[in-house]
A and B are shown apart, each in its own frame.
Chain A
Amino acid sequence: DAKTTQPTSMDCAEGRAANLPCNHSTISGNEYVYWYRQIHSQGPQYIIHGLKNNETNEMASLIITEDRKSSTLILPHATLRDTAVYYCIVRVVGTGGFKTIFGAGTRLFVKA
């Protein structure tokens, strides 16, 4: 079963920051938080991941709470092309073929 819960859908105005929350209150110490997004009829696209520190890359920022029970993905300046389903996942990093289970995700609508 998925270990994350996310809002079903969110709206965001074009050009504004999109803040997507994720709850992972049962996260284990060796599990990382990953974010992917999926545009209709395509495979998921990797966005960002982190363990406990906040992370930033060219696509987004990831803010993880100190207790690691929740996180927020921030798209700083949302565009219409950011409309997609965003998945927050927790997974173990390392050898062993650990499963990667997807939850329902958040459907983000970016509006002009």
Chain B
Amino acid sequence: GAVVSQHPSRVICKSGTSVKIECRSLDFQATTMFWYRQFPKKSLMLMATSNEGSKATYEQGVEKDKFLINHASLTLSTLTVTSAHPEDSSFYICGGTGETNEKLFFGSGTQLSVL
């Protein structure tokens, strides 16, 4: 199956700093990228939907100025958690799909811990 490479897999940062998470589609063009966050023992919660070259569409309750999403190319999307606080600590996952939106492939996730 197609591969979505997500980095870093784990990051620890101080409160107030910003963290960037990258997702690259290695063997397909990711027209759309979904970004999720997941708390322990909970399901994935959709944060935003990003289409290449367009502004991301954020779900209700997700601050767009805090979670900056860039999807400038068909192979790279980034999520930047700005001015991170301990409550932003979570598992963040990206999922990419191509033009037909038939297959959706996920990255391996990033565990963010904010001290």
Among B32, B36, B45, B106, contact of A97 (Cβ-Cβ < 8 Å): B32
Q: Nearest chain B CB to A100's CB is how many angstroms away?
A: 6
**A96-B101, A100-B95 known; A42+B49 contact, CB < 8 A:** no
Closest to B107 in A: A43
Contact of B101 among A2, A46, A93, A104 (CB under 8 A): A93
Chain A 44-77 against B: per-residue CB contact (8 Å), 1 yes, 0 no? 1110010000000000000000000000000000
- B31: chain A residues within 8 A (beta carbon): 95
- Closest chain B residue to A98 by CB distance? B101
Number of interface residues of B (CB under 8 A): 29
Chain B hits for A102, CB < 8 A? 36, 43-46
Residues of A within 8 A of B (CB): 2, 32, 34, 36, 41-46, 49, 87, 91-105
Partner of A92, one of B45, B99, B101, B103: B101
Query: Which residues in B have their C-beta under 8 angstroms from that of A98?
Result: 101
Chain B 60-82: CB-based contact to A (< 8 A → 1; otherwise 0): 00000000000000000000000
- Please provide the 3 A-B residue pairs with the shortest distance between their CB atoms, ordered closest to farther: A43-B106, A102-B44, A44-B106
Question: B34 near A103 (CB under 8 angstroms)?
Answer: no
Q: How far is the CB of B94 from chain A (nearest CB, A)?
A: 8
12 extra interchain contacts, Cβ-Cβ under 8 A, other than A44-B93, A49-B102?
A41-B91, A41-B111, A43-B109, A93-B101, A95-B99, A97-B51, A100-B34, A100-B46, A100-B95, A102-B36, A102-B44, A104-B43
Chain B residues near A96 (CB-CB < 8 A): 101
